[in-house]
Homo-oligomer: A and B are copies of this chain.
Amino acid sequence: MDSKRSAPVGRPRGFDADEALEKAMTVFWQNGYEGASLPALTSAMGISRTSMYAAFGNKEDLFRKALIRYADGPASYGVEAVAEPTAQRVATVFLHGAVRSATLPGYPTGCLSLRAALIGGEDAQAIRNLLAAWRDETRALLTKRFRRAVNEHDLPAKTDPALLARYVMTIGNGVAVQAAGGAKRADLRLIVDAVLQNWPPALARVPKKHLA
């Protein structure tokens, strides 16, 4: 599991697990979970099937580890954003990060979380749930941060933090889709800047859930 073992007796591993995971992340990012076949993964990782299973468990475990690497790397802008001092800065850093992450040179365009599991057969349900949980987590992070901003009078009192968080996520998701479709970074940057000029958006607390 770890890169350093306490007593590595036996033949040492013939590849760098970190580099292999990086390659696997890229393949998942490009092709999604089900679309990434084991031959595609292992050939990109430069190792054989057996070595992958020995080092990472199975395909699902490999994906989970790749996702962690993704969240800590290219998609770390979420946690960075909520550390900003004002709500406007939070939104700005978040959306600029979304644009940057979705158009990184050397990586697939768009967002791994969206490309990997909007769809799929029934056996990919676990992966879908995992990614949905991760996106919900990010949204909860933003909600909490915006709630604090309301309490600090950094946002109008009637602002609904949850709705504002979903607003920001919606723009970020749209950016990811556009990037996956070939949109240029400069264009997306102009678009999110246009969105950010409308701040804070008028998102009052919903009056009441109307009867279904």
Chain A positions within 8 Å of B, measured between CB atoms, are 30-32, 34-35, 37, 110, 114-116, 118-121, 124, 132, 135-136, 163, 166-167, 169-178, 180-183, 186-188, 190-191, 194-195, 197-198, 201-203, 206, 209-210
Residues of B within 8 A of A119 (CB): 30-32, 35, 115-116, 118-119
Complex-state Cα separation, A90 to B167, whole angstroms = 21
Closest to A117 in B: B119
Given contacts A118-B114, A202-B194, contact A178 B169 (CB under 8 A): yes
Q: Is the CB of B163 within 8 A of A187?
A: yes
Complex-state Cα separation, A209 to B185, whole angstroms = 11
- Report the copy number of this chain in the oligomer: 2
Complex-state Cα separation, A167 to B192, whole angstroms = 8
Q: Is the CB of A173 within 8 A of B163?
A: no
- What distance in Å separates the Cβ of A195 from its nearest Cβ neighbour in chain B? 7
Complex-state Cα separation, A166 to B188, whole angstroms = 9
| CB-based closest 3 A-B pairs | A174-B174, A32-B119, A198-B198
- What distance in Å separates the Cβ of A129 from its nearest Cβ neighbour in chain B? 11
Q: Is the CB of B167 within 8 A of A191?
A: yes
Given contacts A35-B120, A119-B35, A197-B202, contact A170 B169 (CB under 8 A): no
Partner of A181, one of B37, B135, B210: B135
Residues of B within 8 A of A115 (CB): 118-119
Closest to A170 in B: B174
Which of A30, A173, A176, A209 has its CB near the most chain B CB atoms (within 10 A)? A173
